[in-house]
Amino acid sequence: MKKYKLFLLALPVVLFSCNDDAFLEEKPMDFLAPEVAYNTEAGIRQGINGLHYSVRNDFFFGEEIQEHTSTFKSLGTDVAFHGEDPNSTKFPCNFVNYWTSTNTIVVEWWRRPYRIIQRANLIIQYCEKSDDAIWTSAEKRDQFAAEAKFFRAWCYRHLVSTFGDVPVVRDVVSEAKTDFVRDPKSEAFKLMEEDLLAGVASLPDRTKEETPGRITKGAALHLLTEVYLMQQKYNEAVDAATRLINNMGYAIMTSRFGGAGNSVWGTGDVFWDLFARNNQNLADNTENIWSIQFDEPSVIGGSNSRGGRAWGPAYFRMGNTPDGVVAFRGELVNGSYTGYSDTLGRGVSWIRPTYYMSHLVWGDDFYNDIRNAPHMVKRDFYFDNPNSQYHGQKIDFSLYPASANRDPIRDTCQYIYPFFMKFFDPCHVMEAPTTSGNGAAYKDVYAMRLAEVYLFRAEAYIQLGQIDRATEDINVLRRRANATPVTADKVDIDYLLDERARELYQEESRWYVLRRTGKLVERVRRYNNNPLNPGLNIQDYHVLLPIPQNQIDLNIDHEFPQNPGYTK
């Protein structure tokens, strides 16, 4: 673009006799520009696809920025710590040392949403100024604009929760700008509500979207409910959630569904079916509101969720059996044993569950809650080498002699720990067979599921003092899970957070939930049992993250204050 502009600037010097303004107008002829790309319905549809691509890559393990997406998936809260190295400086293991204004995640958590907002604003602009003739219908134009607005609201939800007051950018930024202002959160919330109400009005109904994974009215209502909760508009949250539960064609799945290949472990249940391969987009799956689409390596634009890599233990690194042979023989590929199993993949222990998540939260329902069934949470691992007398025995580090000098931190934080299986796809290796898929998983991933809407409404009911109604909503999920129904005298915000962990671990971004309920600092201190940094050294000011220093430095024409507690 710079070269193109320089060439145009030179034209008046060479062709000084030309005075035709139209001749000097920039008209892209040999490269893609918005005025070329977005002058047809098909072009704008491609722009919408680009927003989906960006959200997938930026927030759901589509790119190899593991610390960014791992933290989005609740690393550093009450439910998870970094297992590969609990004292890592690359992951949030010590908040005081880690959360700085130059930290990579801080920069990315600011940059990526605003990048998506700029792209969404561009699509909205071209939808609104486009000639009616390019559209198959006015409804289609409104639908595409509403889908772009949904993504704008999605990003502002992230920015406001993470940073507090942020610039609210409603229009395309077409030139360098150095005077941004931190607008009050109320301005962002106002825009989010406007955008999502447009979505409720114009987006398609469930099953009427053009392709799987596209945004529907249900997704707009889901996010709108959350936005109301963030503002403590609890009556509005109840109304939005109730509309979504009762009137939009969704229902909690209570019977088994999907293909015959769902029971990889020789067992299963309806909860397993929700996360089984190819089940997310089925019309029969009335619980799916919005799922992120992943495709196998042969599909252009496909990507993987790193589901095994992120949550899986690095069992293959544990070394030898107690009698001195390799503990994991692995699969036979090209005549050699790999050391990796296609039922376990190649985990790297980015996200290890806390003891609260793996044990405490299940309470008396540890053995009957299907969300904690052995096929959902793999807790038992076995030596795999016929050359050892321990072959086939359950791994127990007490079997090792004292002379083995095992590292208890690595043994239980990096090598072997409970492996939550929602986003792993066992036995479906599509690439890198010598590393059993290298931690990749290609099944689709929920971004929104109706179960969360029941918990949204229960949260609002608790805040309104309507505990009996909150109890009813929570028990909808507990009955499906074969867990003991809770009684009203036990229901409060902490119980709700426990139930969210049981139902939504790996799916939700726990950061948003703990911030809006005022429980982030308290629960991280109480439950994050990182063995090298219990409680992660969290301070009260860590409720918000620091503004990236480069944003402050570049904003030279207006003051851009840092969040309290942080310095350069």
pLDDT > 80? residue 387: yes
Which of 60-69 are b and which e, b meaning 16 or more Cβ less than 10 Å from the residue's Cβ? Answer: bbbbeebbbb
How many whole angstroms from its chain centre is CA 436? 24
Task: Calculate mean pLDDT across residues 199-214.
Answer: 97
The answer to whether the CB of 497 falls within 8 A of the CB of 523 is: yes
Determine the average pLDDT of the residues in 224-241: 98
Q: What is the dihedral of CA 234, 237, 238, 242, to 10 degrees?
A: 180
* Non-local CB neighbours of 559 within 8 Å, separated by 6+ positions: none
pLDDT of residue 299: 86
The tokens describing 559, both together, are: 């003051």
Instruction: Please tell me the chain's helix, strand, coil percentages from 3-state DSSP, rounded to the nearest 5.
Output: 50, 5, 45
pLDDT, tens digit, for every residue of 307-320? 899 999 999 999 99
* Gap between the Cα atoms of 372 and 379, Å rounded: 10
40-76 confidence digits (pLDDT tens): 999 999 999 999 999 998 888 755 567 778 888 999 9
The β-bridge partners of 288 are 449
CA distance 191 to 212: 27
H or E segment to which residue 118 belongs: helix 104-129
Q: How far is it, in rounded angstroms, from Cα 106 to Cα 98?
A: 10
Quick one: which of 104, 220, 198 has its CA closest to 550? 104
Neighbours of 75 (CB within 10 A): 25
HSE-up (13 A, CA, CB side) for residue 69: 22
pLDDT recorded at residue 2: 31
User: Is the pLDDT confidence value at 288 over 50?
Assistant: yes
For residues 351 and 310, the answer to whether their CB atoms sit within 8 Å is: yes
- What is the chain's alpha carbon radius of gyration, rounded to the nearest angstrom? 25
Query: For 312-400, where are the alpha helices, taking DSSP H only?
Result: 355-358
The per-residue pLDDT for 266 is 78
96 CB neighbour count, 10 Å cutoff = 14
The residue with tokens 């790193």 is 306
Q: Is 420 helix (H, G, I), strand (E, B) or coil?
A: strand
CB 538 within 8 A of CB 545: no
**At a CB cut-off of 8 Å and minimum separation 6, what does 277 contact?**
259, 261, 262, 425, 428, 443
Do strands 80-81 and 288-292 pair parallel, antiparallel, or not at all (unpaired)?
A: unpaired
Give the model's pLDDT for residue 12: 33
Is the model's pLDDT at 24 over the cut of 60? no
Encode pLDDT of 77-130 as tens digits: 999 999 999 999 999 999 999 999 999 899 999 999 999 999 999 999 999 999
Three-state secondary structure call for residue 264 = coil
Alpha-carbon distance of 296 to 316, in angstroms, equals 25
Closest CA to 252 of 489, 523, 477: 477
Q: Write down the H helix ranges in 437-509.
A: 450-463, 467-480, 493-504
Neighbours of 52 (CB within 10 A): 18
Q: What angle do CA 530, 113, 544 make, to 5 degrees?
A: 45
Q: Residue 152 pLDDT more than 60? A: yes
Query: Rounded CA gap, 416 and 404, in Å?
Result: 17
Quick check: 189 and 168 in contact, CB under 8 A? no
Band (pLDDT 50/70/90 cuts) for residue 533 is very high
